[in-house]
Amino acid sequence: MIRLEPRKEMSKNLLYLTPVIAVALTIIFGGVMFLILGKNPVRAITIIFVTPLTDLFTISEIIVKATPLILIGIGLSFGFRAGVWNIGAEGQFTIGALVGGALPALYPVEGFWILPVMCLAGIIGGMAWAAIPAFLRTKFNANEILVTLMLTYVAVLLLSVLVHGPLKDPAGLNFPESRLFNESATLPILIPGTRAHVGFLIAILALIVAWMLLTRHIFGYQVKVMGQSPKAASFGGFIQNKVVWLCLMISGGLAGLAGTFEAAGPVGQLVPALPVGYGFTAIIVAFLGRLTPIGILFAGFVMALTYIGGEAAQIEMNLPSAVTGVFQGMFLFSLLGIDVLAGFRICLAGRRPAGATG
């Protein structure tokens, strides 16, 4: 029999080691999955996890995917620490793209001011969408998990109906898509010849600000106390509703910004298929990164790698695209399972002192 014994002190080393073990475990489980699918596991793992890192273009594509994941993930991490479960970042992402992209989709004007206005609009859009669950939770005690999720379905439908209607490209042969954004409304490219855009720098900036907030600012402290013990938070004089609002505004705003970046960056227009699940994958990124800024940076890259590697495997080995989703699920499972190591000591009951009656 194996028993768990709680550690008095969380093992700090293990805390940082567990994500690495989780990645290793996922690769092992993934290998088993490929065997079952009748594919060469070593080759598949190599294509997914190694090959993309050997080529500048694929690296730039990883940056493209990592940008929204990091932005959304860092925003979610505040709420997840505080026990505010915004799992509808996908919806806020969608609304952010919609609001931020509405201007260039409707009026192809030129000017240096367009991009900042779009970003601001995207942030406000995401915040507004997140304000609904914030309002309903603080005012009516409605569970934000369900509300944010339901609103995601609504947001995706809303994008679809608007792109089929008012935002449709007048010269677009009736396809459900907006006009292509002009130069002024497109994000500057970071590495020439690739799609990696300046949004990545903003994501890094967000990480630094988040790190400051978490380690040096009373807001970060509030968030930590609230998540670990709501009663201690009210003893400390922290107002729960304020924290709920702030967490949802931060995560909603950053998700909205990520949505605008996606529309103004790699996609370059509004299409119904704009939301591809970054909002959900970012949940995994946040957990895999231990809800810490530096961790989220790495986790964002690892998850982006599974997208790019998954696509490569799709082309080269004829693997289904769903492989990426399975991998991401396995990541989170392995991490959650392995987490037990950090908080508990695993003992073999047989090693208890001799003469035990139990």
Name which of 187 and 299 has its Cβ closer to another protein.
299
CA-wise closest residue to 311 among 26, 21, 51, 29: 51
Q: Shortest approach of another protein to residue 117 CB, angstroms?
A: 27
Going by C-alpha positions, the residue among 280, 293, 219 that lies closest to residue 92 is 280
State in angstroms the smallest separation of the CB of 8 from another protein: 4
Nearer to another protein, 180 or 333 (CB): 333
SS3 3: strand
| 171, burial (CB in 10 Å: exposed 0-12, middle 13-18, buried 19+) | exposed
Q: Give the residue with the Cβ less far from another protein, 176 or 199.
A: 176
96 close to 126: Cβ distance less than 8 angstroms: yes
Beta bridge partners of 3: 347
With b meaning 16 or more CB within 10 Å and e meaning fewer, what string describes 261-282? Answer: bbbbbbbbbbbbebbeebbbbb
Q: How far is the CB of 216 from another protein (least distance, A)?
A: 6
Residue 85 or 301 having the CB closest to another protein? 85
**What's the closest the beta carbon of residue 242 comes to another protein, in angstroms?**
11
Least distance CB 163 / another protein (angstroms): 10
Residues contacting 102, CB < 8 A, separation 6+: 121, 167, 270
Residue 267 DSSP one-character state: I
Tell me the residue type at 161. V
Residues paired with 347 in a beta bridge: 3
For residue 74, the minimal CB distance to another protein (Å) is 17
Measured from the CB atom, is 165 or 350 closer to another protein? 165
Indicate the residue among 198 and 332 with the shorter CB distance to another protein: 332
